[in-house]
Amino acid sequence: MDWIDFLIVVLRVVVVFALLLLVTIINVWAERKVVADFQNRIGPERAGPFGMLQTVADGLKLFFKESIIPARSEVGMFLLAPFLAVIPAFLIFLNIPFGRPITIGDRVIPLQGMDVDVGLLIVLAMSSMAVYAVVIAGWSSGSKYPLLGGVRATAQAISYEAAMGLAMVAVVLFSATQAADAPGGTLSLAELVERQSGTWAGIIPRWNLIPQIVAFVIFFIAAIAETNRAPFDLVEAEQELVGGYFTEYSGMRFAMFFLAEYINIFSMSALTATLFLGGWNGPTWDGVLPVWLSALLPFVWFMIKTYVLVFIFFWIRATLPRLRYDQLMALGWKRLIPGALGWLMLTAVVLGYRRFGLPWS
């Protein structure tokens, strides 16, 4: 690896980082604006054009706010939790390809933080790592509300993670049969996107969404629950638990949890778009448009797909009331997990029949 390769790696890391921070600033504003529209309010409008700088203003304000460490907290763990919240959130997006690989000279630069063979497993692992932040924050505060929030978060996250993983398996299984040249499945997200390129019958895009619609619904519900968003935000239910696990956090430490939540919303939407909506696939009109425009278009398609899903996140938040805790658990264990298992078996049987024929023939 010479220094140019090294520079490219550094550049990719910095680009992904900058992208995540930028979209977080936009997303916080977008959510407030969208929810305000749903509720027939105006929303933020003072800071910058259409209030777009509201997030920046809020962030700056938090710099000047006192960060309290309660006397009864476990200080070490209390200070560690914000780090544990933010880092896994960054690492999820690192795996997601956000554009078509660019070829400059003889170098092919993938527009992705990293392309490892087990990308999907890393995503799954990181989304479980996020639970540790919540549990540690809740426990180390030495206070009743955060503790309850933390315990609730654990049970919720592990329940929906099981459903999420099973929905992912169905997608992996299906895409194993979609490869043109190399048979066999893959966990690499770049490869999963590649296999969704092209169309069926000339007009229907070969997205996993259509044959895997049930897995999509299960996965998306589980993604909302994993990010602790309404209607699954029992973890931080304001009316019952004040703020849940970050009740005792203030100032910039609180802002770190907030940042992690919004990065997670974006990453989960991006992951859903990658697995089910074909990622960056879309018409690029190579040869018709200028080269730079054709290279940029996949990124645009990726962002459009992701933001449709982000909008659905906001839409669901504005529409549905919070679930009761027993309803939350019943939905996870009695609907989503059996549903995902059933869908996985159905997918396996259909694919097996198409590939191997009947077992007794």
Partner 1 sequence: MTYFESYLTVGAFIALGALLVGVVLVLARALAPSNPSAEKLSTYECGVDPVGSGWSQTYVRYYLYGLLFVIFDIEAVFIFPWAIQLESLGMFGLIEMLVFIGILVLGLVYAIRKGVLRWE
- CB atoms under 10 Å from CB of 122, counted, come to 18
Can you tell me the distance from the alpha carbon of 133 to that of 23, in angstroms, rounded to the nearest whole number?
22
SS3 content of the chain, % helix, strand, coil (to 5): 65, 5, 30
Provide Rg for the chain, Cα atoms.
Answer: 22
User: Of 138-146, 219-227, 287-295, 307-315, which segment contacts partner 1 by CB under 8 A?
Assistant: 138-146
Per-residue contact track with partner 1, 253 to 292, x per CB under 8 A?
x-xx------------------------------------
Q: Which stretch binds partner 1 (CB under 8 A): 42-50, 64-72, 285-293, 297-305?
A: 64-72
Nearer to partner 1, 166 or 268 (CB): 166
Tell me which long-range contacts 238-243 makes (C-beta under 8 A, separation of at least 24). Answer: 241/145, 241/146, 241/148, 241/149, 241/152, 242/145, 243/145, 243/149
* Residue among 239, 234, 228 nearest 326 (CA): 234
148 lies in the site for partner 1, by CB under 8 A? yes
Give me the 206-245 binding string for partner 1, x by CB under 8 A, dash otherwise: ------------------------------------x---
Stretch that binds partner 1, among 42-50, 184-192, 268-276, 289-297 (CB under 8 A): 184-192
Q: Would you give the binding string for partner 1 spanning residues 299-338, x where CB under 8 A is met?
A: --------------------------xx--xx--xx--xx
75 binds partner 1 (CB under 8 A): no
How would DSSP label each residue in 314-341? HHHHHHPPPPPHHHHHHIIIIIIHHHHH
Q: Closer CB to partner 1, residue 159 or residue 196? A: 159
Contact call for residue 22 and partner 1 (CB under 8 A): no
